Structure 1
Amino acid sequence: MTPLLVLLVLVILTILMTVKVVPQQTAYILERLGKFYGVLQPGINFIIPFFDRIAYKYTLKESAIDIPEQICITRDNVQVRMDGVIFIQVIDPKKAAYGIADYTFAVIQLAQTTMRSEIGKLDLDKTFEERMIINRAVVQSIDDAAIGWGVKVLRYEIKNITPPQSVLIAMEKQMQAERERRSVILQSDGEKQAAINVAEGQKQKAVLESEGVRLRQINEAEGEAAALRSVAEATAESIRLVAAAIQNEGGMEAVQLKVADNFVEQFGKLAKAGNTLILPANLADMGSMVASAMTIVKSSEPKK
């Protein structure tokens, strides 16, 4: 190999070492002679070979870190297994490089200790209900500590909460009892509502029947009253006509004839009704009896 060719290869290698292409959403930490010099931005960057070196490479994308399963003890002394996932993002590459040795390991450890602490404040039943509170507490705790690490904690989610088998069996029995209690309550409420509906229907039926009876009695009373008025008016009219006829010529003789006729008719009925018959002393004097009846009729006439 000729010296010229060797020199050409060295020049090409030097150029390649001088140019650094940084991908999008990526940050390179540049050190010059072992000291922090700057952060290379996405695109083409030039460095001094043998003096500058890329010490760290960080992605600026959001990252999901799995939190391993661990045993936590609740406030009522029940051991539960819990795991989760945390989402972080590097926002300051310099702090991420020099603020902590391994921010991923630190975030995992802090998430586990914070989760154990938060679970210890709650009873077992509350751990299933207060997931959002636990998540916010873990995010807040790690975010406060990660300020010097150049890392932003975006969110944390509990994946699984696994109680012991004995607790699961007890919870299943409790849920079964609760479902049976709700079923009994719903059935009793249904029977109660049905009884109320029946009673309400009977009440309305009784009210309607009584209303119907009342209206019927009112109608019957009004009908009877109207009938009585009609009879009374007809009787009064007939009396007025009889009185007017008596005042006419020959009216008194007609009355005498009618009285005698009625007397004979009624006396005949008495004779048919029984075997014993009491006769007045002056039965033969029919004229005197008719005259007596006419005297009564005349005495009842209004005086002029």
Structure 2
Amino acid sequence: MQIFGSLVSVFLFIIVCGFILTFLGAFFTVKQQTTAVIERFGKFNCIRQAGFNLKIPIIDKVVGRVNLKIQQLDVMIETKTKDNVFVKIKVSVQYMVMENAVYDAFYKLQNPHSQITSYVFDVVRAEVPKLRLDDVFERKDDIAIAVKGELQEAMLSYGYSIVKTLVTDIDPDEQVKHAMNRINSAEREKIAAEYEAEAERIKIVAKARAEAESKQLQGKGIADQRREIAKGLEESVKVLNGVNINSQEASSLIVVTQHYDTLSTIGSNSRSNLILLPNTPNAASDMLTNMISSFYATQNINDESKIDKYFSQKKP
């Protein structure tokens, strides 16, 4: 009897524990941005939202939970461009389960990742072969829009909404990247050479203009200088004529005076390398004699020319 009583006690204890566990199993919680799918005897019953929930023990069962947050799937695709360059393209798809279509998302699609990946492969391998490599980089947004349009239409019936699609990486073959870098480098060197040539041309033109202006000003200065010298000589001759010295003698005197002034100027400069020829003690006297002889010879020639002209006019 004592043994029988112990067995009854254990049996009652098990029944009580089972009852407690069953009672506690009627309560469950659902996290925020999550829904719970409830089945009754293996058949869909209802969907429970976030918070504290109740279900019938043993009869109802939580068969799954659906995440309502935005999720991201990264898909890496290798394909070929129109100019036969193989590239690896990484497409990031951001998607979420629509709250009013949890049933479709849970029961209609077993593996959403595989489904989305298949559509991304299909769209990218249809769009990229139409473009050259440079166009792929420039029109990556168009590729992303095409992927989103195709996915949105296909996944909507399964309860999924495509939030955003991004082409996050375009990686050509390593040799192609080296070739592109060489092309860019050569192009930049060409532009740099053109700018350097243009700068050199501007320098040459500016220097030529400066030299032309300098020569022009120098020539004008020499002309003004000679004009002033001529005026000074003219005034000197007039002064000498006023003291009964004729023009030829005055010119000779002025030349000799300038000769000695030049010698004085050269002698005052200790660093001068100029040599004045002739440079003898009788140089000024000889110069004056030669100049006077030249003047007289010129005058005689002019007189003879006048006489010959006069007699030629007298002949009948």
Place the TM-score, normalised by the shorter chain, in its bin: 0.5 to 0.7
Say whether residues 1:128 and 2:137 are aligned partners: yes
Give runs of aligned pairs for residues 208-287 of structure 1, distance below 5 A.
208-211=214-217, 213-214=219-220, 217=223
Alignment match of 2:213 (pick from 207, 220, 231): 207
Alignment match of 1:10 (pick from 18, 21, 33): 18
User: What residue number does 2:34 align with?
Assistant: 26
TM-score scaled by structure 1? 0.62
**C-alpha deviations, 1:143-195, integer Å up to 9, x for none?**
2222122222233344554545xxx4355245424423431442243123212
The Cα of 1:111 is off from its aligned counterpart by 1.4
User: What residue number does 1:109 align with?
Assistant: 118
User: What residue number does 1:180 align with?
Assistant: 186
The Cα of 1:90 is off from its aligned counterpart by 1.9
User: What residue number does 1:90 align with?
Assistant: 97
- Give me the whole-angstrom Cα distance separating, in 2, the residues matched to 1:52 and 1:208: 107
Relative to 1, partners in 2 of residues 1:70 and 1:222: Cα closer, same or farther, differing over 3 Å?
A: same
User: What residue number does 1:47 align with?
Assistant: 55
Gaps of 5+ in 2: 1-7, 240-291, 293-316
Q: Could you tell me which amino acid in structure 1 is paired with residue 37 of structure 2?
A: I
> Alignment RMSD, CA only?
3.6
Secondary structure in structure 2 of the residue aligned to 1:37: strand
Secondary structure in structure 2 of the residue aligned to 1:120: helix
Tell me the percent identity.
23
The Cα of 1:22 is off from its aligned counterpart by 0.8
User: What residue number does 1:285 align with?
Assistant: none
The Cα of 1:105 is off from its aligned counterpart by 2.0
**C-alpha deviations, 1:187-244, integer Å up to 9, x for none?**
2431232122221232034225424654775688689879989x99x9xxxxxxxxxx
Q: Could you tell me which amino acid in structure 1 is paired with residue 212 of structure 2?
A: A
Secondary structure in structure 1 of the residue aligned to 2:109: coil
Secondary structure in structure 2 of the residue aligned to 1:45: strand
- Give me the whole-angstrom Cα distance separating, in 1, the residues matched to 2:57 and 2:225: 122
Gaps of 5+ in 1: 235-272, 274-304
